[in-house]
Structure 1
Amino acid sequence: MPYDGSPSRRQLLSGAGIAAGLAAVPLVHAGHAQSKRQVTVRLDWIYQGPNAGFMVAQDKGFYEQVGLNVEVGPGKGSGNTAQLVASKATQFGFADGYVLGNGVSKGMNIRAVAGLYRRDPTAAVVLADSDIKTPKDLEGKTIAIAAGSTQFQQWPAFVKGCGLDASKIRIVNIDPAGSPPALITGQVPAIAGYALGQVPSVEIRGNTKARVFWYADCGVTAVSNCIVVHNDLIKEDPELVRSFIAATLKGFLYGRQNLDEMIAIARKYSPAIEPAIARREAEMSWQSWISPNTKGKPFGWMSEKDWEETVEVLKQYGGVTAPLQAQQLYTNDFVPTGVEFIPPPADADKM
């Protein structure tokens, strides 16, 4: 159900595949007197294409099948969502792994229990018809990045990985919401941010094409959005965690195979959602579902190496000085292992 304001391989993803995937967790049938458990999840941001899988899981009854009724609440950024999970104001959160790592280093008792954006979705974005054809062409140009953002913190790693001369690139501060308009109108020749949010806005609202230079393509490894819980919930109710994850992942996988239906469901939560934007957002998010180290693994499964490299980026560029180990940040204990949970590669959707 929409949030009410309280704090509180392609063939396998058919209806039969959905049912099989949920068979491993306890089911609650309509004839049973057992009432559904009320659960809350706070998203990373407003209702949109990339996070619509949660809405699909509720609307299609995947949560109901495991005895849950889930309030899906919009977020105000991963940092805020992580704080809500840490304070137990919500049982589940959808938050960036880089932000999670920063929070844990400062004492938050939270952990990722399923990784969705397992490849860094951050990128430098330019217009396709610009003279910036490769990352090297950014030298001598200006790029707009929100000061203090994840993209800003990871910028030095991108520059190093691409072999760029940082002294030849001018950085200007910009509000994230103002980045796409600034690029479209030519105020700046390049912007950096989450590609899954910026590229759709540039392409649809600007009626143009964008060229994307993924940070990941220059060697930046940073686990992004995950399902996050308090460590106490893992100890006190592991079956709740397991059931929620299985149903949620089914929602995302079903939405990928039924994109128009997913967008229609998301618009029940927010009629302001623009279908064309939401479609492109979802398509861009699929580029981040699989990292080289998670290829062929079930959706949600996280790589220790990816987390170790995320920790290194945090220590080198994110200001983390406290002792921090990858094992503190995640667990794969609750990720379903069925083959129906293995997502197709991004290029299977011909983006």
Structure 2
Amino acid sequence: MSRLTRTVAAATTAAALMLVGACSGSDSTDDKGGDSGALEQVTYLTSFGNFGRDSYAWVAKEKGFFRDAGFDVDIKAGKGTGAVIQTVSGGKAHFGPIDLTGGLLQFGNGEAKDFVVVAAIQQRTMAGIATVEGTNITTPKDLEGKKIADAPASVVRNLFPTYAKMAGVDASKVTWVNGAPQDLMGTLAAGTVDGIGQFVVGQPTIEAVAKKKAIMLPYSEYMQDLYGNVLITSTTIAKEQPDMVKRFRDALLKGLDYALANPQEAAELLKKNVDSTNVDAARSELELMAGYVRSSNSGAQLGTVDSARVAQSIAILQGAGALKQTLDPDEIIDFSLTPKA
């Protein structure tokens, strides 16, 4: 790939954004961003490993949506909400999806800063606890006395105290152990833990790995107003390159739309890039995810974020004692960069 035809003029900005493409797009989100053939180098993180639920980024790359928008995108496996926030806000990646509730918790409790939301991926949270038959877990209360594995930065793990309070679970009676994203399902299948933190659309993949029926405990049963994953970038990129953000946002959402409409092809494209992919499970994940991406109660454009719903999510977290300080939606979401309803 050729280098960008324009670079950041200020040396301080360039140092802070080593990986940020300095070429700013025009006012139109259809602009290719630079001279013909000159693509901006962008690093994108998936939310959590490389499962079917994240295949839309690979679709956007393989179908040429990123290229048409002026980008050469390097897709790397993310390690959960906390890690994605840290990497993006630290300037080591340009974009990545995080669970909005996890972002609210980290931002509102002073654990993270310097990132903003620019689009929604899922209109409802997919966070939950997964187990399999034989663990004697069928209700949230059954989690007491059990061992659950997840990555320390996972939104499932960090949101659990709030979920436990709302679901009537004594969180102090649940033991959490650390687990890497790629190892969680194998750990559950081996029986070394009773459950794992997992997005509910992971059910087909769990069953493929564990060879047992999966049992899912979705957080959305008790926290229905919470968004799922959202796309973030750093505050610096959002401020200095808003048109580049819109071009990337639109290309990614185009990949999301295509993946949901063509789950089999999307799963095969993921397999092309990630050899360990189980195509059937990846396709099933996308089919399950469709209901979370588009709200069944509105015809809102893909990727939109509603300020009132975010405020309600904040109120839920504050009511559960999970937020240490008050938080306004505008502090974490740049509504000038989110798709319009």
TM-score bucket of the superposed structures, by smaller chain:
0.7 to 0.9
> Residue 116 of structure 1 corresponds to which residue in structure 2?
121
CA contact (8 A) 1:154 1:313 kept: no
Aligned to 2:250: 246
Cα displacement (A) at 1:171: 1.5
Give 2:88's aligned residue.
85
Question: Any idea what SS the aligned residue of 2:292 has?
Answer: coil
- Equivalent of residue 100 in structure 1, options 100, 103, 127: 103
Matched, 1:207 2:200: no
| Pair 174,201 (structure 1): closer, same or farther in 2 beyond 3 Å | farther
Q: Could you tell me which residue of structure 2 aligns to residue 303 of structure 1?
A: 306
Deviation at residue 172 of structure 1 after TM alignment: 2.5
Q: Is 2:331 aligned against 1:328?
A: yes
Q: CA separation in 1, counterparts of 2:163 and 2:303?
A: 25
- The 10-residue stretch of structure 1 (45-54 or 96-105) with the greater mean CA deviation from structure 2: 96-105
Describe the shift of the 1:165–1:78 C-alpha distance in structure 2 as closer, same or farther (beyond 3 A): closer
Count of residue pairs brought into register by the alignment? 311
1:154/1:317 contact within 8 Å kept? no
User: Is the Cα–Cα contact under 8 Å of residues 66 and 73 in structure 2 kept in the other structure?
Assistant: yes
CA contact (8 A) 1:145 1:151 kept: no
Distance 1:246 1:215 in 2: 29
Where do residues 129-148 of structure 1 align in structure 2 (5 Å cutoff)? Answer: 134-135=139-140, 138=142, 142=146, 144-146=148-150
- Conserved in 1, the CA contact under 8 Å of 2:32 and 2:69? yes
Instruction: Measure the CA separation in 2 of the matches of 1:157 and 1:142.
Output: 18
Residue type matched to 1:55 in 2? W
Q: Does 1:223 align with 2:227?
A: yes
Moved more, 87-96 or 247-256: 87-96
Structure 1 counterpart of 2:10: none
Distance 1:142 1:217, change over 3 A: same
- Return the alpha-carbon distance in structure 1 between the equivalents of residues 130 and 50 of structure 2: 23
| Aligned CA distance change for structure 1 residues 278 and 36 (closer, same or farther; 3 Å) | same
Partner of 2:236: 232
Question: Partners in 2 of 1:242 and 1:195 — Cα distance?
Answer: 29
Cα separation, 2, equivalents of 1:274 and 1:286: 19
Alignment TM-score, normalising by the size of structure 2:
0.76
Normalising by the residue count of structure 1, what TM-score does the alignment of the two structures yield? 0.74
Query: In the alignment, which residue of structure 2 is the partner of 1:348?
Result: none
2:166 to 153, 161, 164: 161
Consecutive unaligned residues in structure 1, runs of 5 or more: 2-6, 9-23, 339-351
SS in structure 2 opposite 1:174?
A: strand
Partner SS, residue 288 of structure 1: helix
Q: What do the CA deviations read for 1:227-274 (whole angstroms, capped 9, x no partner)? A: 101222222222111111111101011011112221222123221222
Structure 2 unpaired stretches of 5+: 2-17, 20-27
Label 1:319 to 1:133 Cα distance change in 2 as closer, same or farther (>3 A). Answer: closer
